[in-house]
Chains A and B, each alone.
Chain A
Amino acid sequence: MSPFGTSLRTEVGGVDLDTPVIVASGVWPMDPALWPEGSLDGVGAVCSKGLTLKPRDGNPGCRIVETYSGVLNSIGLQNSGVDHFVAQELSAFSFAGRPIIVNIAFETLDDLVETVEVLKGSALKISALELNVSCPNVTRGGMTWGIHPESLESAVTAARRAWNGILWVKLSPQAPSVGEFAELSQGCGAEAVVVGNTWLGMAIDNERERPFFENVFAGLSGPAVFPLALRAVWEAAGAVEIPVIGCGGISRPQDALSMILAGASAVEVGTALFVDSRLPASICRELERHLREKGLSSVGDLVGRARR
């Protein structure tokens, strides 16, 4: 039971949430036994780590580097594969007692469809599928699915055909126009868009005179990207009718409120959990405080209020 009031309850893209705060993909253990004390408070839903059809060891070499107020990561989608997830990890994950959003990554459309088929066989409930389109499309020379309109369209359409449940599309901030890509996802049948994933960056190891990461580029997240993500959410929310879920750099309770005022119906928090496992609860307290101060009764009333 959520310790927070009913004013934070909301329905986002077909998923009922006790609070609008979701744990983003890839940052938190899927086994709640590993969660620090109190960190489930205020969490409305949890995303799985990025799953792929086959198990992946992830990237070799160094995987994380701190930057000014942020981190660059190059994990490379290490996961035990979707079969193992359904057979083993999902039951422990379900102990969190929160809606489970399953995040999937894929190299080809066949991979995508096969992954979805495995998920369909799960006896445990999957509240939504979150399609990560920031992974490379190997049939197009490794170009990210989410930065080319036809590529994105083919992926969302394939996922939509294969999956009868709720479908969220997690957009890549590298897309040339977040608004257009959100609209495209909506047109292909997504119930919500998540805006967005990490921002491509890089680091150089000056001593070795080489790129720091084996893969050269890596994903930037954390407080440093918040203003960029906020702008992207604003654009997406102006372009679509379906809900937008804000994600990127939310590190303080006020950031989550800003995202919602900009048009996000819910938020995902990632990197900030590395430093504050109680952030979801603090966000909820801030939202409740703001609702009281403005004399509003529900978090839904806050969505997009800065756009009036």
Chain B
Amino acid sequence: MDSGMGKPGSPADRKGSLVFSRKVGENCRHIAVELSEATAPSAPGQFFLVREWGVFDPLLGRPLASTVSGNCRLEFLFQVTGRGTSRLASLTPGAALELRGPCGNGFPAPVGEKLLLVAGTLGIAPFLGAVSALGEKVDVTAVLGVPGRGWEPFTEWCEDKIPGIRLNSDDGSLGRRGDPVEDSLTLVGPGRELWGCGPEAMLRELGRAYEKGCEKVLVSLERRMGCGIGGCLSCSITTPSGMKRVCVDGPVFDWREVFGEPLRN
């Protein structure tokens, strides 16, 4: 299958202009950016460092997964958590942005025909593009976990983008009560590949899928970043196979590469 997925395109710095910025619930934003020049196409899981153009405070670009990527148009879905993302959320259409990307290795095209996507809240972002990129060729099931009440606008937005997405919430107010890992474990089995994105504790738990005969588990990790291109070693992680840089060796890794060998029954 040649969907071009997972292949790293060379990152470039681009100026962009904000096309729209829509609120998705209280704390999240869906934005679209028109680039001055095309970038390499990005695969699900690849990301961009996004910042307001020409501003030194906040300084660093914030790593965000591109949810939709065309030649000159990118979309992102992000949660407002601090200075950089609040600044991005305050921008109005026409505002100038600076973007570096596409960075890192995304999810490679799935080997099998059945794919399970497991996301914790904003971890859904890299999967939004995957679902459309994979189209009819692969049978995709998406599982989402959110804390609960207050996240309806977000889950409704996700349901609109990924019809049939399975909802889980900690308090049971939205979809099933429970966490997305437990839900996904009821679905995995031989021949199913699993991709995860969300809090690290959740990603670690996904290793249990191996016990159920799942052969391939891929996870997208997050670390604070400086350069985004493998130079500053801000994003290094210790793995059983040595030091790895999340920005260029990842962010998508084979579960075993970062967490070691899973326990098998």
Contact = CB atoms under 8 A, between A and B. Distances in A.
Interface of A: 26-31, 34-39, 49, 57-58, 60, 62-66, 68-71, 73, 75, 78, 222-223, 251, 271, 273-278
Nearest to A38: B12
A223 B248 CA distance: 26
Contacts of B60: 66, 71, 274-275
Contact of A275 (B51, B231, B232, B234): B51
B111 interface: no
B226 interface: yes
A64 B231 contact: no
A31 B13 contact: no
A26 B232 CA distance: 6
Nearest to B10: A37
A63 B234 CA distance: 5
A300 B224 CA distance: 40
B42 to A, nearest CB: 14
Interface string B56-67: 111111000000
A165 B226 CA distance: 33
18 contacts: A26-B232, A27-B232, A29-B231, A34-B229, A34-B231, A36-B11, A64-B234, A73-B226, A73-B232, A75-B234, A78-B233, A78-B243, A271-B59, A273-B231, A274-B61, A275-B59, A276-B13, A278-B13
A271 B59 CA distance: 10
A142 to B, nearest CB: 22
Nearest first, the 3 closest Cβ-Cβ pairs linking A and B are A64-B234, A29-B231, A28-B231
B187 interface: no
A251 B84 CA distance: 19
Interface residues of B, number: 31
A137 B135 CA distance: 59
B59 A75 contact: no
Given A274-B60, A275-B61, A277-B100, A57 B243 contact: yes
Contact of B59 (A28, A30, A69): A69
Given A37-B10, A65-B224, A223-B59, A75 B229 contact: no
A274 to B, nearest CB: 5
A44 B201 CA distance: 45
A101 B261 CA distance: 41
Contacts of A38: 12-13
Nearest to B57: A69
B236 interface: yes
B98 A71 contact: no
Interface of B: 10-13, 51, 56-61, 83-84, 98, 100, 224-236, 238, 243, 248
Contacts, number: 106
Q: Which of B61, B229, B230, B235 has the most CB of A within 10 A?
A: B229
A278 B14 CA distance: 10
Q: Which of A28, A64, A69, A73 has the most CB of B within 10 A?
A: A64
Given A68-B57, A73-B226, A222-B59, A63 B236 contact: yes
A71 B58 CA distance: 10
Contact of A27 (B11, B98, B100, B226): B226
A88 to B, nearest CB: 14
A78 B227 CA distance: 15
Given A71-B59, A71-B60, A36 B226 contact: no
A275 B248 contact: no
Contacts of B58: 66
B227 A251 contact: no
B57 to A, nearest CB: 4
Contact of A73 (B56, B231, B234, B238): B234
Contacts of A70: 59
B232 A64 contact: yes
Nearest to A63: B234
A302 B230 CA distance: 35
Nearest to B37: A37
Contacts of A62: 224
A275 B10 contact: no
Given A36-B100, A275-B61, A276-B13, A63 B233 contact: yes
A78 B236 contact: yes
Contacts of A60: 238
Nearest to A26: B232
B223 to A, nearest CB: 9
Nearest to B248: A34
Contact of A29 (B230, B235, B236): B230
Nearest to B229: A34
A36 B243 CA distance: 23
B226 A64 contact: yes
A28 B234 CA distance: 11
Contact of A66 (B59, B98, B231, B238): B59
